[in-house]
Amino acid sequence: MRVLFVTSEMAGLYKTGGLGDVSRSLPIALRKLRVNVSVAMPYYKAIELKTVHCVGQIAVTFDGKRELVFVFESTIPNSQVPLYLFRHPKLDDYHGDDIVSKFAFFSCCIARLYEFSPQVLGGKLDIVHCHDWHTALVPLLLGESNKLRREQETLESIRTKTILTIHNLLYQGSAPVSLLKTLNLPKRIFHVLPTKKGPRIKLFREGLEHADVISTVSPTYAKEILTGDYGQHINEVLHRRRGDVVGILNGIDGTIWDPRDDKSLPVHYGKNDVLSGKQANKEYLQRTLKLPIAKMPLIGFVGRLEVRQKGINILIAALGHLLPDSAQVIILGTGSKKIKQTLAAFAKKYPDHFVFVPTFDERLARRIYAGADILVVPSKFEPCGLTQMIAMRYGTIPIVRKTGGLADTVVDGKTGFVFEQYSGTALRKKLKEAINLWNTNPNKWSRMAVTCMRQNFSWAVSAKKYKALYARLYKR
């Protein structure tokens, strides 16, 4: 069984978010389970790889022109997993004016290559595993060509199966219908949606119609997206196809996230010396961020300061009531100008209790995972979430909202604090409960930290489930 992972990003080469981590770790974990998997992604100019060689070229018709695309082969760094990179000027940068058309083009490259020169990818594929809206067009494109081939009654026609994994339904790859002309595909096979910006299509929605299996990154999110609130206006198709929707929790790579030998940490620690280790990291963080070494809990937030998903507004509401008396707070992340101004004002008002670092800085993120007592993840929705799992591995107790992967990874009172209602008041209540425990029962607190560190969020667990899913699909 041969599997091709088709993705827009990969940690270490080019990463914009959690999908990048999954695209790197999951194929490696699958390979360890002897799944024959390779990965395809655009060859952005920013990607630096030492050993790459060209294995073929294809001509892709796009917007009425024949575009020549070069395919390069390498391996995912520090692994044996083959990596295919697609080079073309349209794929030089991830961002750009027309990101939707860019990834539609990349999807055309995959379909074209698959159909006409599969030997470039090492031979015919049994399963094509796509991720998010960026590559959601692939199942439709393969499906359309399968249909054609079926008419010619070839045996090859219906063999390849497709999986589309939802990492985040908020972003759907919306494009004007003119994209269909660019793709040279008939309008009747698409779902044209009336919107304020005129009639549009959404690549994600098309993928959800055509993929053989729809998966997402936690069991709870798999249930949530069938409902109105979380379905982001395309839950109708998800609901109709609910029998094909599965949720498999992501993992974290224990070799990358390990407080025993994390190069960014001033002091390393494990389960046996978590108390002293965390205290040393906390003091280092306080000193370097110019906070007094106060005896109060240190609360961290690491992530995009995104109102629609990450709950930053309820966090601001809750902190407004808690500061400055009960805790010190560090917020690391980028966001809109308005949010940044609000947080900068907090920092000015409470210089001894509040630090805001408006960048993405992985080294500091790691120091926060290690040095904070509490990591807060107040997301409105969270398909899986990575930071709560990393925090737990670093013995930092998470406070999360009961949604998606947060609900599936944190147990209230055992491995963290979980609140349900999406409001500043509910979050404030949980924060107070946590702060109170920290102040009154340090023994219980450290037992909880060790329980957190004992949780097994390894990719091996998830990879086994994907392997079983591939096998089921293969037999279908």
- Tell me the C-alpha to C-alpha distance, in Å, between residue 105 and each of 84, 137, 211: 16, 9, 18
Of 24-32, 323-331, 384-392, 439-447: span binding ligand GLC (CB under 6 A): 384-392
- Tell me the C-alpha to C-alpha distance, in Å, between residue 389 and each of 235, 249, 408, 473: 28, 11, 11, 29
Count CA within 13 A, CB hemisphere, residue 105. 27
Task: Give how far the C-alpha of residue 187 lies from the chain's centroid of Cα atoms, to the nearest Å.
Answer: 31
Round to whole Å and give the CA distance between 263 and 298.
22
Q: Which is nearer to ligand GLC, 384 or 452 (CB)?
A: 384
- Asked whether position 398 contacts ligand GLC by CB under 6 A, the answer is no
Q: Which is nearer to ligand GLC, 209 or 224 (CB)?
A: 224
Q: How many residues bind ligand GLC (CB under 6 A)?
A: 14
- Tell me the C-alpha to C-alpha distance, in Å, between residue 67 and each of 86, 97, 112, 369: 12, 19, 12, 46
Residue 476: DSSP 8-state: -
Q: Which is nearer to ligand GLC, 19 or 319 (CB)?
A: 19
- At residue 111, what is the residue type? A
Round to whole Å and give the CA distance between 217 and 302.
20
Of 353-361, 382-390, 436-444, 458-466: span binding ligand GLC (CB under 6 A): 382-390
- Asked whether position 217 contacts ligand GLC by CB under 6 A, the answer is yes
- Asked whether position 385 contacts ligand GLC by CB under 6 A, the answer is yes
- Asked whether position 416 contacts ligand GLC by CB under 6 A, the answer is no
Alpha helices in 95-187 (DSSP H): 99-116, 137-151, 178-183
- At residue 474, what is the residue type? Y
- Asked whether position 375 contacts ligand GLC by CB under 6 A, the answer is no
Q: Which is nearer to ligand GLC, 216 or 326 (CB)?
A: 216
- Asked whether position 167 contacts ligand GLC by CB under 6 A, the answer is yes
Q: Which is nearer to ligand GLC, 277 or 405 (CB)?
A: 405
- From the CB of 254, what's the least distance to ligand GLC, in Å? 17
- Alpha-carbon Rg for the chain, nearest whole angstrom, is 23
Site string for ligand GLC, 90-119 (x = CB under 6 A): ------------------------------
**Closest chain position to ligand GLC (CB):** 18
Q: 168, 235, 326, 396: which one contacts ligand GLC (CB under 6 A)?
A: 168
Q: Which is nearer to ligand GLC, 72 or 171 (CB)?
A: 171
- Tell me the C-alpha to C-alpha distance, in Å, between residue 38 and each of 76, 85, 210, 234: 9, 11, 22, 30
Q: 3, 11, 22, 41: which one contacts ligand GLC (CB under 6 A)?
A: 22
Q: Angle at which helices 312-322 and 337-349 pack, to 10 degrees?
A: 10
What SS3 class is residue 173?
Answer: coil
What SS3 class is residue 182?
Answer: helix
- Asked whether position 17 contacts ligand GLC by CB under 6 A, the answer is yes
- Asked whether position 384 contacts ligand GLC by CB under 6 A, the answer is yes
Q: Which is nearer to ligand GLC, 386 or 427 (CB)?
A: 386
Q: 4, 19, 26, 222: which one contacts ligand GLC (CB under 6 A)?
A: 19
Round to whole Å and give the CA distance between 400 and 124.
44
Kindly list the residues in this chain that would bind ligand GLC in the complex (CB under 6 A).
Answer: 17-19, 22, 167-168, 217, 250, 382-386, 405
